[in-house]
Amino acid sequence: MGVNITSIKTSSNGAWQGDNPLDYAFPLLIVQTTLIIILSRFLAFLLKPLRQPKVIAEIVGGILLGPSALGRNHEYLNRIFPSWSTPILESVASIGLLFFLFLVGLELDVSSIRRSGRRAFFIALAGISLPFVSGIGVAFVLRKTVDGADQVGYGQFLVFMGCALSITAFPVLARILAELKLLTTRVGEIAMAAAAFNDVAAWILLALAVALAGNGDGTGEKSPIICIWVLLSGTAFVVFMLMVISPAMKCVGRRCSSENGVVDEAYICLTLAGTLVSGFMTDLIGIHSIFGAFVFGLTIPKGGDFADRLTERIEDFVSGLLLPLYFASSGLKTDVTKIKGGKAWGLLVMVISTACAGKIVGTFAVAIMLMFPARESLTLGVLMNTKGLVELIVLNIGKEKKVLNDEIFAIMVLMALFTTFITTPTVMAIYKPARRMSAPTHRKLRDLSASAGFSDDSRDELRILACAHGPGNAPALISLVESIRSTKKSSTLKLFIMHLVELTERSSSIIMVQRVRKNGLPFFNRFRRGQWYDRVAGAFQAYRQLGRVSVRPTTAISPLSTMHDDICHVAEEKRVAMIILPFHKQWTVSGVDDEEVVDNVGHGWREVNQRVLKHGPCSVAVLVDRGFGSGGAYKTPEPNTNLITQKVCIVFFGGPDDREALELGGRMAEHPAVKVTVVRFVENKEGVEKAGLMLQPSPTKSIEVRYSFSTAKRNPEKEKELDETAVAEFKSRWDGMAEYTEKVANDIVEGVLAIGCRGEYDLIVVGKGRFPSKMVAELAERQAEHPELGPIGDILASPGRGVVSSVLVIQQHDVVHAEEVPVSEVVHNQYEKFAGPGDLESSSTSTSTVTEISKHVV
């Protein structure tokens, strides 16, 4: 039954008065929007492991909600998506589309296109011309094969088909390149510039297609003179925007810069209104309104505070809420059931094959002629084959103008889905950018000390890569780095600060990637102004004024699944001796009853730490911050001051990781404002007698709740000798500058917690214990809360135990220790895999307290 849309009311009187909210425009719009958002987000979550752009999930969600799947139930379709609600849903979606195209124009840097020059232009030309010609061929086949296709005029049908096959989706391509860390590589920059050229051509073709499409009756009976007027008016509009509006917006950008204070809200509102007016003007001309919004976005000056503020204000609301409605509405119009029989599905295969072959072959051939390597040329072809937003706009206009019928529309939407879906896995399979080989590096502190020797005159350069989630990590990192800094004139410290930022679908993420990455990798620059540097690196600007400290900031923006690649590569390239990672939990004390509050940044960041610990090219330290250096309590002292501002405890059980912790403690002991105490736990007589008990590896146990130990074969006697040598060196080297204490403990947990709970130390440094001593091995079957920290680190980092000191867990770099497996039990056996004998049963039943057996100042 037909519905008069003018009789539809906006809101209902409520269910209590007998009204069904779904019969009214606004409540129904709320239900439709909620359903679309929930389904598209769910599909995006499912497709995330495949690294697919969000547009795929949104289109598929619309198809599932439409007549192809759920819509086959006519009762559901007529109730949730009735025909009278379509104009309302599409009007709201078009507002989101308008502002999204404004963001695309804002994101597109025309200067980068100029820099790419003729190579990008010729690649774009090949990527447009050959697919366009192929599209004309496809159009002839479809007109003769699909029922009703020949009722449309030749001109507009050929232009729409050629335009649909030749388009490259600039916004979708940018997100795919950012996801694959190719956005700032040579391939990525050429692809983006060529896609930008392609976008410009697409808008010209779209204007031509709209001008030729007639009045929406499919006849195309429009005077050629009118088409010429439309194109001339569109050209005049572009010239006016670039010659008049662009200088005006540059003036606004200067007024809204950080030097002139905060951005005036009036300029933000006027700019948003300008987007709407620009869209209205192009619609008045006879071109789609989104063209005006896109051109207006091009006039906004790039890289300033004004552009950043505009992006922040609208991107979440537009990209997260309104734009999915447009993609979903395209899916709602797609009826896959119209593709019936083998002939129709054969046409779909033909369209997909032609679209892929035209783009890939055309781009590949020209790239080879321009002296690109074959693999890069093929990658460019696959990337240029990406479809998305503009493709759907063309198809929707074609359907609206009745140039494309339901069957052809469904075929073209599925073609766009398929070509975009295969882009990411294909590029990952065929192209991996070459990494520069770095020079040999000091991979651990012990190597650095060995090369420097004991002479005070020897040159000593320590390089550290400190990572931060945000400004909240800065005080603890500064305090830690300062305590490590040597006061010898011959010693220097190079500190590389890396701000870790998760890559999202937001436009600001893409803009940020272009700013902070070079050749696909994070790059370091001198301190400069800008939002992205002020947030974290700005906290280090005062600290870098100290002598013998060089601070270089960068930002790593990546998906969490590949964040460790950036960290490890930078550590390798900069030849650092240690990576410092922030723990995924941070402790603070609230003002109410001094209650401890735990801030958890998420499990994803914990997995980042775990992957860096596994793949790190140097020693790695994880800092568990409980207020280390916060609140202004820590002041960086002058080199000659005797004021003690930090107390550090090194807990030593033995093993490579503990020796690295002891080495770090020696560096701290050199600082006049840091008091270092080494607490060495030694075995009691009962433990020595049980030296025949060994750990049994159990790879089937979950690494999430079990500690993992190295599978390397080591001689326990040799390890014990190395431990004694390290301790003897520490005593002789830091004579009178550090305190050394030996303690015997039958209950290791109690002994370690006693150190952490009494609040005597600001920082406790422990080794991870991958090659455990006999005492640490007794803790192998404890239920682990943070197994990546090792048994001792986990004890000190777990909440609810009353530990008040911050903790630094160190893992010494050693390729021999790279493979780790969990253990399940302690068995009587000869030494095979692990060097950590101990008795779990006796450990769990012991109640003896820690006994101090010796204490003296070294």
pLDDT surpasses 60 at 441: no
Return the pLDDT at 515: 65
Cα separations in angstroms, 242 against 196, 230, 296, 513, 776? 17, 19, 9, 27, 70
What is the DSSP track for 433-490? PPPPPPPP---SHHHHHHHH-S-TTS-EEEEEEEEESSGGGHHHHHHHHHHH---STT
Q: What is the overall mean pLDDT for the chain?
A: 79
Q: Which residue has the tokens 């080989």?
A: 437
Return the pLDDT at 293: 92
pLDDT surpasses 80 at 519: no
pLDDT surpasses 80 at 268: yes
Q: Give the rounded distance of the alpha carbon of 665 from its chain centre.
A: 35
List CB contacts of 427: < 8 A, sequence separation 6 or more.
176, 180, 182, 379, 382, 383
Return the pLDDT at 642: 52
| Segment 22-53, tens digit of pLDDT | 889 999 999 999 999 999 999 998 998 888 88
Name the strand (E) or helix (H) holding 744.
Answer: strand 738-744
pLDDT surpasses 70 at 698: no
| Segment 636-651, tens digit of pLDDT | 444 445 566 788 999 9
Average pLDDT rounded to a whole number, residues 727-743: 85
Q: Check if 5-430 and 637-858 are the same fold.
A: no
Residue 589, token pair as written in the block: 């004390």
Instruction: In whole angstroms, give the CA distance from residue 682 to residue 363.
Output: 69
Q: Is 223 helix (H, G, I), strand (E, B) or coil?
A: coil
| Segment 792-840, tens digit of pLDDT | 999 998 888 888 889 999 998 876 656 666 665 554 444 444 444 333 3
Return the pLDDT at 847: 36
pLDDT surpasses 70 at 632: no
Contact assessment for residue 850 and residue 743, using Cβ atoms and an 8 Å cutoff = yes
Return the pLDDT at 673: 85
Q: Which of 113-117, 474-478, 683-687, 741-745 has the highest mean pLDDT?
A: 474-478
| Segment 443-489, tens digit of pLDDT | 777 766 655 554 444 446 788 999 998 888 888 888 898 888 877 76
pLDDT surpasses 80 at 518: no
Alpha helices in 213-264 (DSSP H): 224-240, 246-255
pLDDT surpasses 70 at 113: no
Burial group, residue 258, by CB count within 10 angstroms (0-12, 13-18, 19+): middle
Return the pLDDT at 636: 45
Return the pLDDT at 89: 92
Q: What is the pTM of this model?
A: 0.78
Minimum mean pLDDT range among 245-254, 485-494, 847-856: 847-856
Return the pLDDT at 798: 84
Give residue 402's pLDDT band: very low, low, confident or very high (50, 70, 90): confident
Among residues 521, 601, 603, the alpha carbon closest in space to that of 565 is found at 521
Instruction: In whole angstroms, give the CA distance from residue 780 to residue 790.
Output: 9
Average pLDDT rounded to a whole number, residues 102-112: 78
pLDDT surpasses 70 at 436: no
What's at 657, amino acid-wise?
Answer: D
pLDDT surpasses 50 at 689: no
Q: Phi and psi dihedrals of 249, rounded to 5?
A: -70, -30
Burial group, residue 62, by CB count within 10 angstroms (0-12, 13-18, 19+): buried
Q: Does domain 440-588+597-624 have CATH number 3.40.47.10?
A: no
Residue 331, token pair as written in the block: 């899916």
Return the pLDDT at 442: 53
Cα separations in angstroms, 117 against 189, 363, 366, 507, 745? 11, 16, 14, 25, 71
Instruction: In whole angstroms, give the CA distance from residue 480 to residue 695.
Output: 35
| Segment 224-264, tens digit of pLDDT | 777 788 888 888 998 999 999 999 998 888 887 666 556 67
Return the pLDDT at 278: 95
Fold of 637-858: Rossmann fold (3.40.50)
Residue 786, token pair as written in the block: 């943070």
Average pLDDT rounded to a whole number, residues 596-607: 81
List CB contacts of 44: < 8 A, sequence separation 6 or more.
54, 57, 58
What is the DSSP track for 533-551? HHTTGGGGTTGGGSTTEEE
pLDDT surpasses 80 at 222: no
pLDDT surpasses 80 at 512: no
Fold of 5-430: Na+/H+ antiporter like fold (1.20.1530)
Return the pLDDT at 178: 81
Return the pLDDT at 454: 45
Indicate the domain borders of the chain. 5-430, 440-588+597-624, 637-858
Return the pLDDT at 28: 93
